[in-house]
Amino acid sequence: MRVAILFDLDGTLIDSTEAILDGFAYAFSSFGLEPPPKEKILALIGHPLDFMFVHLGVTSDPMPFVERYKERYRQIFKAKTKLLPKAKEAVLEASRLGRVGIVTTKTGKYSKELMEHLGLMDYFDVLIGPEDVHHPKPHPEPILKALRHLGIPPQEAFMIGDTCLDALAAKDADVCGLGVRCGYGKKELDRCFDHLFADPLLAVRFVKRLKGYHH
């Protein structure tokens, strides 16, 4: 039985901090509001956009803010996003071990375009974004949907992510969660993940050792 290795995007494979902060600044400014401090925005990355806006103080319907964010993000996301160190190597190594997927709260369309732009989309067998599910992470639905698509059971699957949302989704999907310290989740990662690594390549190599792959 081959394994499935699922990756989160922001903070796990890519650094789109600049694009995200720019998008939020644009959205808040569009409605004559002062953008919140960047630390507050970064602490919420991993959640869906509407959730983020509400928790950043938007008391009205957050969807107009989401639309403004996307309007700006669409213009800048390719130029202002880069792969994290060891991300490319991690994806290539994972593709040699089994089936590979992306499970993200970033809009699927942008996720796909971004991975094509960065030259990695061909290595992924499935991409699940928030529009593909009723309940995004930390709910297990996106992980389970990815695994159904791949035809691989949860006990043969791994979810690599950088926040407790990834850990909770993995746990509730009965999948092994592997945390990476290169992203947005900081101190709290120790209490969420049983296995923590500096970067996604080390996480993939852990899977390789665990499963006894030698090639």
Establish whether 8 is a catalytic residue.
Answer: yes
Whether 78 and 113 have beta carbons less than 8 Å apart is answered as yes
Q: Give the separation between CA 137 and CA 191, rounded to whole angstroms.
A: 18
DSSP string, 118-175: TT-GGG-SEEE-GGG-SS-TTSSHHHHHHHHHHT--GGGEEEEESSHHHHHHHHHTT-
Q: Please name the helix (run of DSSP H) or strand (run of DSSP E) that holds residue 179, with its range, or none.
A: strand 176-180
Whether the CB-CB separation of 214 and 205 falls below 8 Å is answered with: no
Distance CA 76, CA 96 (A): 32
Q: Which of 8, 10, 15, 162 is catalytic?
A: 8
Q: Which sequence positions are flagged as catalytic?
A: 8
